[in-house]
Amino acid sequence: MSEPKHTISDLYQMQSVPLSIKIRMTEDRIRGWINEYGESGVYVSFSGGKDSTVLLDIVRKLYPDVLAVYVDTGLEYPEIREFVKSFNNVEWLKPKKNFRQVITEYGYPFISKEVSDKVQGARRYLKSVRERETDLCTVHGRPVGHRQENQQRESRLSSTSDGDYP
């Protein structure tokens, strides 16, 4: 994992900067973003929340035609959806999987991406172990022999890798 670009003292220093300076710094970063990718090569991810609304406002004051993209997961409050509809040039995307399917397939989302990455890696490892553990005593992951240690191992693996997490 790479080192963070900013330290906690950097954060405190940036938080103490006046709002007008923060806005100018944001505008400079947006200009650099547009210079790098062009207006047609960028978009603002727009959730309808306060942070993305402020960002979209700052971007569109500088570049009125920049696209906003809203992902309609079906979990948003109706008021948020109506608020998003009040903006021009917003592309609505619908996920291929609904929230229940995501939870079933990947598990409940963790707050920390680092923890989430570790859990996903552990799940992949357990799945690969289960796939390799097919010997004469198991068929399709189910014990068919009478070697108790294989049955116990299979039971432990299936209880941790079938998606049933607290």
pLDDT in tens, 118-148: 778 888 888 887 777 654 455 555 555 545 5
- Kindly tell me the number of DSSP H helices and DSSP E strands found in the chain: 7, 5
Output phi, psi for 145, to 5 deg: -95, -170
Q: Cite the residue boundaries of each domain of the chain with CATH code 3.40.50.620.
A: 8-95
Overall average pLDDT of the 75-94 stretch:
95
Q: Does domain 8-95 have CATH number 3.40.50.300?
A: no
Range in 79-83, 103-107, 153-157 the model is least confident about: 153-157
Q: What is the pTM of this model?
A: 0.60
Query: What is the percent of the chain with per-residue pLDDT over 90, rounded to a whole number?
Result: 48
Which amino acid is present at 148? Q
Integer Rg of the chain from CA:
24
Q: What is the pLDDT of residue 165?
A: 45
State which H helix or E strand residue 20 sits in.
helix 19-37
- Residue-wise pLDDT for 24-58, tens only, equals 999 999 999 999 999 999 999 999 999 999 999 99
Residue 86 to residue 70: CA distance in whole angstroms: 12
